[in-house]
Amino acid sequence: MLTRPASIMLVAGSVSIGLVMGFWLGRGGGSLSAQVGGAATASGRNPVAAAEVRRVSQIQQSDVKVYEELAKQYDQFRHVDRMFEQVSKAVAPTVVHIITQKSSRHEEGQKARKFEETGSGVIVRCDKLAGLFVLTNHHVVEGGKSSKIRVYLQDGRALTPERIWSDSMADIAVLKLDRDDLPAARLGDSDNAQVGSWVLALGSPFGLTHSVSQGIISARGRHMDELRDVDNQDFLQTDAAINPGNSGGPLVNMLGEVVGINNSIASNGGGNEGVGFSIPINLARWIMNELIANGHVTRGGLGVELDSTYDYERAVKLGLDRPNGALIGKVHPDSPASRGGVQEGDVILSFGGVSIHDLNHLVNAVSMSPVGRPAEVVVWRDRHELKLRLTVGDRDRALPAELDPSQDAPPDPSGLVRRPNRPGETSNFAMGLEVVTLSTQLAARFGLPDSMHGACVVSVDAESPFVQLCRVNDVIAVINERPVASAEQAVRMLGDDGSHTPLIISIDRLEKGEVERHTIRVPR
């Protein structure tokens, strides 16, 4: 038993020790463990564990520094990121998803094939008539009746257009809406769209409505001979992703202004490969105003045929240092050009005070000129410039009735340039397959041997019995032990012959640079 003095000393000693320890901890002393035997120093007795603790701590500290530096850098970029957000927010409510119900018959007596074509569009206002309109591509609504077209808004509502105007020569269509309470996009000036400037492409790729992709203006003034049904071409080229379903959607600048209507792509497989084409909004707006005001487009014309072989060598021979302008191949008699003094072999360097870059630039400049208005033309003749004055005529009257320039353009044998999600002119259909004859150009493009023949698969319908068996670019080589030489032959052999016997089909497929043959069994 402790005596009273001993108890007092023990209490005093405990208090002193507590005060010392508290003071020590308050000055940053180490932590204490309640474990017996001084477990707090376990790490000191285990150098491996201590090293691991230090390594983890260093990694955490390094991560913190990286993200702190990233945050500092992002502060400088935040306004750019914000711009993309703001442009998307401003334009997205004006972008629509379009579904058109269509039908086609490829052979006489064949049952009409019904299908849907999807695309995009943008709600705009017009200079000629009050109300709201949807600006899109002609090929999106081509062949469809107004009652068979659905226009889906961002909020999910579906509208049916009151009226449709369309112009195939520029691939532009206008749909009249029956309401005036929707947001409309602002139209910019495509002449000011500079190469290298940022743009956004909005639309419904692969049915994924109201998607946004980002890129730049890659080039201007592109002309694609493969699009022989489009006369007015002056495409903006962009690397913003344009895929099936984007056709008709807007290409906008960083002010939220529409500078183009997305139209087509250059692609090996039918999807985006960074080369897309957009109709300049200045051309699209002019076409829209003409359609709404007059019901059709009246284009200006000179009554000439232009030489598409005009190149650097030809220009040098004529005394020019570059192939600017458009070379006249033929002047039709009693035409505006003939009456104005234009001659075969002239190079038109400027029209109406605007320097002409190439053949296509001249076509668009003349087309958009009012009929009956005088225009000053500068031509290159006999190695010097000559000023002429002529009056623009009606294109349909200025050219002979039997002349259709688009008929002279050969089809694209490679299928490189196409409208997204659109059957090719040489396509054939059977059992939900879209196939084309495998040409030498297609074989080279897909890395297949030149000797290979058959029907190349372009698309597979979701309801087709082949949907789990075939892929795009597969080549149907043999059907029921009979070699396939063309798409037409494949369609005939796939057709129902009433026997209900299964089809045994051999397809060639490119896998990792090598051609593999697969045999599939398909019930009829």
- Kindly list the domain boundaries of the chain, sorted by start residue: 52-297, 300-398, 429-522
How far from 404 is each of 228, 229, 230, 319, 409, CA to CA, in Å?
A: 11, 10, 12, 32, 10
The residues facing 121 across adjacent strands are 96
Phi, psi (degrees; rounded to nearest 5) at 244: -50, 125
Nearest 10 degrees: Cα torsion 194, 200, 201, 202: -140
| Cα–Cα distance measured from residue 458 to residue 483, given in angstroms and rounded to the nearest whole number | 19
Which pair of structure tokens corresponds to residue 173?
């269509």
Topology of domain 429-522, per CATH? Pdz3 Domain (2.30.42)
Tell me the torsion sign for CA atoms 245, 192, 253, 86: negative
Among 59-63, 145-149, 183-187, 369-373, name the most confident range.
183-187
| Catalytic residue numbers, as ranges | 139, 171, 247
CATH for 52-297? 2.40.10.120
- Comparing 15-24, 378-387, 479-488, the range with the smallest average pLDDT is 15-24
The answer to whether 356 and 350 have CB atoms below 8 angstroms apart is yes
Read off the pLDDT band of 110 (50, 70, 90): low
- Tokens 């004859």, residue located: 437
Judge whether 300-398 and 429-522 match in fold. yes
What stretch of H or E contains 372?
none
| pLDDT digits 0-9 by tens, 278-293 | 999 999 999 999 999 9
What stretch of H or E contains 318?
none
Length, in residues, of the chain: 524
Read off the pLDDT band of 229 (50, 70, 90): low
Q: Which residues contact 412 (CB under 8 A, 6 or more apart)?
A: 225, 226, 418
Phi-psi region of 436 (alpha: psi -120 to 50; beta: other; left: phi over 0): beta
Tell me the torsion sign for CA atoms 338, 370, 190, 100: negative
Topology of domain 300-398, per CATH? Pdz3 Domain (2.30.42)
Which pair of structure tokens corresponds to residue 16?
């002193």
pTM of the model: 0.65
| Cα–Cα distance measured from residue 57 to residue 406, given in angstroms and rounded to the nearest whole number | 71
| pLDDT digits 0-9 by tens, 118-150 | 899 999 999 888 999 999 999 899 888 888 999
pLDDT at residue 418 greater than cutoff 80: no
| Cα–Cα distance measured from residue 215 to residue 412, given in angstroms and rounded to the nearest whole number | 27
